[in-house]
Chain A
Amino acid sequence: MAEGTLHIHGGHLVDPANGIDAPTDLYIADGRIAAIGKAPDGFRADHTLDAGGLHIIPGLVDLCARVREPGQEHKATIDSECRAAAAGGITTLCCPPDTTPVIDTPAVVELIRHRTGQARAARVVSLGALTRNLDGEHLSEMAALKQAGCVGVSNALRPLASTQIERRAFEYAATFDLTVFLYADDPALSANGCLHEGQLSTRLGLPGIPEAAETVAVARDLALIQQTGVRAHFCRLTTERAVRMVARAQFDGLPVSADVAIPYLYLTEMDASEFNPEFHFIPPLRTQNDRDGLLTGLRDGTLGALCSDHQPHEADAKLAPFPATEPGASGLDTLLSLTLKLVQDKHLTLSEAIARVTCGPAAILNLPCGELGVGRVADLCLFDASAHWQVKRENLLSQGKNTPFTGWEMPGRVRFTLRDGQPIFRREAK
């Protein structure tokens, strides 16, 4: 397969945005979907792809993945991570602005685009910094960042200096119709914490991050969203209460969306009980009750997207006493399988689960991908739902081998990934 038209036959298409969940053929021309089901008049396939036994879904859109470039190439590079993403069925990933230098000028956006162009794997879109150098005090040149291609603005995990600055930043972002991506955190309440404040933080004597660090921030942010009318997205919610607050705001008609990162649906605070730094997350893993609340929010659509929150690290970053280790897990390799496992565990239907990693995040980012209507870009993931694999550090394609899921049996194996109709990954069947 290279340039030219393509006929994918024999596969089972799941396209939640268009309500399709059936055996269907796909026809691709010029990198776009030319037809679904029946060949267009006069279509001649230069190539055919036998998708017998495979599911075909839109290429995954990962709402948050750190590629570590520029600035932290010892952890990962755009090249390494975009290849790992492609192998995980991900065709678009969104990079937060906390690179080095920070994504606060068009030059950095351009650098990332240039490096992505060389990778010929998943595409990268980026969020611009909400404040200059993420300092929390001076507004970034948001109009220029938007013009350069940023799909939204965010201060990543860094705090804003005051609610007044937050208000002004929201107003300025709203001026240019930019979505603000928020980490709900009250820095005074979460200060120095490295674990959910609860039973385990008490037992291990580790400084805790209380639930209120998130809920206080959500309440404050919602008040300012209402005041300014900005469109906002809550990144990586972790508590059941925050999910309910966002659900209420959505019910009241506020322009807010939210997501959850997939480790938070499987792990809880108790997993860190042996000081294992693979379970060091910021925001922290919460309780069983929070986990249940996140699953409910994901099912009812309050949480419109499920992301990897991919944070690849070099081995040394996790080789220290727990509080001194760097938080976060590598997640590109496991995103699709853990999403399918939600179906296997009967938390979501296949269509609901796929929606949260395709059209859901695409809508939040306002990108024309994540669904497969005629004329849409042909970003596709073909996977074998019956294949299983076991997570081993050495098998991860990401440069970051830091995973809390070592040893887990995972359902689903990607066989082909296509971006703009072009194959960017293929794995032979065993």
Chain B
Amino acid sequence: MSVNLQIGEDGRLRHFLAIEGLNRTLLTEILDTAESFAGVTEQSVKKVPLLRGRTIVNLFFEASTRTRTTFELAAKRLSADVLNINLNASSAVKGETLLDTLRNLQAMHVDMFVVRHADSGTAHFIARHVQPHVSVINAGDGRHAHPTQAMLDMFTIRREKGPDFGRLSVAIVGDVAHSRVARSQIHALNLLNVGELRIVAPRTLIPAHVESLGVRVFNDLHAGLRDVDVVIMLRLQRERMQGAMLPSEHEYFRLYGLTEDRLSVAKPDVTVMHPGPINRGVEMDSQVADGPRSVILEQVTYGIATRMAVMSMAMHSTPRQENDG
């Protein structure tokens, strides 16, 4: 069902809801398209007219700065009209149902929804109920998926390490249990045939039967980082100290915080990533975050090209398709 939902009858991307259900060819196409847009974003005139006249609505039911901003920039660089709607402050409190909100916005003839919501499954729900010409892009739903973040991470890894994921060992460190980013990264890395995929965390932050997603579980950071090519750190939410997930930030940093010293067991050319925002001194110390092996700011930059790729592909208006036409 999710396969049908994301891929149109013509075999092209229709909605972008989750990595799960897509295939390697499509992921590679997204990365290649993003590569062609990366040039655009580095020029002094950073616009292409691919989505001129289209209207994109950023429908955010959860606060976000980075994701919403990069989606907005991506849409603007594709020459689309962008509407930002923060629903924490409007309909959601007035008791309007999600479906009513959606129908009202659709009545304004929009072409795409970029959606973030605290409930897992929201993007799927919306994709099931939009008109046939409207596309939905998931900008994060609950703990389920954040597929554009995963794609920009794949883009970053490919730029750093080359296209052969098969020779890479990747470790994802931190709160996998509550992370939609981690879930999407795991699916993407496995679809791209990563050599080895590890997750590293105390057992309170590892979800049930996580091995079924295709990962090796490590509880010890030292063992988990040995000889890895890429380390992806996850953000630790402060509220995990309540609810008995963790005793303290101090102990977490002592056991799972990334320092130069800890990183020494990884490959010498290890790449350090983080989806942001960083808690310095909790997940990693500043020396690593700002150090030569960190690509955290590159991730942000690549986020724009990646989102341009996904948006234009879902609207069937990529540079290549334009040339074909």
Contacts and interface: CB of A to CB of B under 8 A. Distances in A.
Contacts of B2: 274
A321 B125 contact: yes
B208 A205 contact: no
Name the residue among A201, A203, A206, A324 with the largest chain B CB count within 10 angstroms: A203
A275 B183 contact: no
B212 A205 contact: no
B122 A205 contact: no
B121 A201 contact: no
Nearest to A206: B120
Interface residues of A, number: 22
Name the residue among A201, A319, A322 with the largest chain B CB count within 10 angstroms: A322
B121 to A, nearest CB: 4
A274 B18 CA distance: 12
B145 interface: yes
Given A206-B120, A206-B143, A275-B124, A197 B208 contact: yes
Contacts of A316: 97
B145 to A, nearest CB: 7
A202 B209 contact: yes
A205 B183 CA distance: 8
B121 A323 contact: yes
Interface string A180-204: 0000000000000000011101111
B180 interface: yes
A207 B144 CA distance: 10
Contact of A206 (B20, B142, B212, B213): B142
B210 A205 contact: no
B117 interface: yes
Contact of B98 (A203, A207, A275, A321): A321
Nearest to B122: A321
Contacts of A321: 98, 117, 119-122, 124-125, 141
A202 B212 contact: yes
Given A319-B97, A323-B120, A205 B125 contact: no
Nearest to B144: A205
Interface in B63-98: 97-98
Contact of B210 (A202, A204, A275): A202
A96 to B, nearest CB: 27
Given A201-B208, A202-B207, A205-B183, A322 B120 contact: yes
Contacts of B117: 321
B209 A206 contact: no
A279 to B, nearest CB: 12
B107 interface: no
Interface of B: 1-2, 20, 97-99, 117, 119-122, 124-125, 141-145, 180, 183, 207-210, 212-213
24 contacts: A198-B209, A199-B212, A201-B207, A202-B209, A202-B210, A203-B20, A203-B212, A203-B213, A204-B120, A204-B121, A204-B144, A205-B143, A205-B183, A207-B143, A208-B208, A274-B124, A275-B121, A275-B125, A319-B97, A320-B99, A321-B141, A322-B119, A323-B120, A323-B142
Interface of A: 197-199, 201-208, 210, 274-276, 316, 319-324
Given A205-B183, A275-B124, 14 more contacts: A198-B209, A203-B213, A204-B120, A204-B121, A205-B120, A205-B141, A205-B143, A275-B120, A275-B121, A319-B97, A321-B117, A323-B121, A324-B98, A324-B119
